Amino acid sequence: MKEKSFASLPVFLVDDEESVLHASAAVLHSAGVANIQMVSDSRELLSMLGQQPASAVLLDLMMPHISGTKLLPDIVHLYPEVPVIVMTAAQDVETAVRSMKEGAFDYLVKPVEESRLVASVRHALEVHSLRRQMGVLKRYLLSDCLQNNEAFAGIITNSRKMRSLFQYLEAVAVSAEPVLISGETGAGKEMFAQALHKLSGLSGQFVQVNVAGLDDTLFSDTLFGHKKGAFTGADQSRAGLIAQAAGGTLFLDEIGDLSMASQVKLLRLLQEHMYFPLGSDVARPSDARVVCATNCKLAQMMRQNHFRSDLYFRLSVHQVEVPPLRQHKEDIPLLLQHFLDEAAAAIHKPAPEPSNELLTLLANYHFPGNVRELRAMVFNAMALHRGGAVLAMDSFRQAIQKQQKTGADDAVADPSDGLPILIPGRFPTLDEVEEAMVREALKRAKGNQGVAATLLGLSRPALNRRLARRALPPES
């Protein structure tokens, strides 16, 4: 059964004074706490909590029928994950100490300052979120299961590494804190963000914006919107993407390219959950969950003073590192078949079968463009396919050889997956190195000379000449 998301769980305000209830609700609403349940009759509270889980309870101690003093231990016992904030006009130390001993999360004296109320509730929501995440993670560690497989339907995988990331996403989906998704270009970061939005159960939209190339003014206008007359050409007011993402997810892609000035504005949004449209001096609340993605090493950028450290730590409360395709190559056959079916349907052709030789070739390629590159290869191959039951390999060989010649593959090469870079002992001759490379290529190609030639960047006849000259037997 799918759990309710963090953002959907209400804050319960319990007080017999209607004026206090409405005033407290208004303060919290203006601070971005959207879901509030007001309870004026204390006798109804426990039954309401049984029907609707809460993220926090603000409880008045002095009430008719059932006092908050009697309710507090019952709430703490029945719902230990829910922080209870006590509010009372009593200022004696003894009452405060007794409340804290019985499990109160905080103690506020009426009349409560607005900033104090907001700070206490926000802290309670953060603690509640962490408690729920720990519970979910514990269940996953014990059961090794997924509760919401449908949320990951768009990510084609049979990898244990990817499944572990799915479990982590399910755990942190109950949190309202930001999520930072990192990984190489084409690895599928956007799909992870969309899966997280589905898991969260948020009622609002999934709104995406690529912030790369946006200067500070355009960034502010895109996210925050503007009032009429805010600048030349602003003939009418416009709501920004934060308003569009209300109650949902705001996905900021390529966050590593954000200017320093814009980083300050994003940090303020995350800290205060408030923003100012351009030309306005009235702050507006935001309850959108922020998810960011980058292919940059933000920790390294932070050390080099290219990315604000306070923003980095605010964004990286939850982190997901999407692995490159070369680290889950067991998914290549699944992805290949999926893209073949997709491409065939797009051009109204029957999908041919991939050969074992093609699978071997792809398994030995590093895919610097990751899943996106594989998809492009398959769609290109299908466009060039002229019939037959087996998919032709020529376009794949040409794409791989072109990539090898450009050297774009070097930046992502894994030294543990290839020939040793360090050469111990005697330095080999070029002939010895060539022979070693040919043998290694044949080994990886499982003796297939066509695949081995592609890995070496040679034509099939050129490899055959080398094999004949050296009398090297094909690997079996």
- Give 88's strand partners: 109
pLDDT of residue 424: 66
Q: What is the pLDDT of residue 457?
A: 80
Same domain, 114 and 234: no
CA atoms within 13 A on the CB side of 278: 23
**At CB < 8 A and 24+ separation, what contacts does 66-69 make?**
66/42, 67/42, 68/14, 68/42, 69/99
Write out pLDDT tens, residues 437-451: 888 888 888 878 878
Q: Which of these ranges, 51-65, 79-93, 357-371, has the smallest mean pLDDT?
A: 79-93
Residue 1 lies in a domain: no
Half-sphere exposure of 361 (CA within 13 A, CB side): 28
Bigger pLDDT: 420 or 128? 128
- What is the pLDDT, as a whole number, of residue 387? 82
Q: Provide the pLDDT for residue 90.
A: 72
The pLDDT tens digits of the residues spanning 464-474 come to 777 777 665 55
158 and 295: one domain?
A: yes
pLDDT tens digits for 383-395?
A: 999 888 899 989 9
pLDDT at 447: 79
**Tens digit of each residue's pLDDT (9 = 90 or more) over 215-248:** 999 999 999 999 988 888 888 888 999 999 999 9
pLDDT digits (tens, 9 = 90+) for 82-93: 999 998 887 777
Q: SS3 for 304?
A: coil
Pair (423, 411) in one structural domain: no
Question: Is residue 444 located within the same domain as residue 359?
Answer: no
Q: What is the CATH number of the domain that holds 235?
A: 3.40.50.300
Which residue, of 323, 343, 377, is where some domain finishes?
323
Q: What is the mean pLDDT of residues 426-439?
A: 79
Q: What percent of the chain has pLDDT over 70?
A: 91
78 and 223 in a single domain? The answer is: no
The verdict on 273 and 356 lying in the same domain is no
Using the CB atoms, write b or e for 140-176: b if 16+ within 10 Å: beeeeeeebeebbeebbbebeebeebbbbbbbbbbbb
How far apart (Å, rounded) are the C-alpha atoms in residues 38 and 20?
10
- pLDDT in the model for residue 253: 96
Does residue 74 surpass a pLDDT of 70?
yes
pLDDT at res. 30: 85
Assess if residue 142 is contained within a domain.
no
Predicted local confidence at residue 157, as pLDDT: 94
Residues 6+ apart with CB under 8 A from 291: 178, 179, 181, 193, 196, 197, 249, 250, 251, 252
The count of domains in the chain is 4
Looking at residues 307-332, what average pLDDT do you find? 94
Same domain for 277 and 174: yes
- 83-107 average pLDDT score: 86
* Domain membership of residue 428 as a residue range: 419-476
Residue 415 predicted with pLDDT over 70: no
Query: Among the three residues 374, 391, 415, which one is the final residue of a domain in this structure?
Result: 415
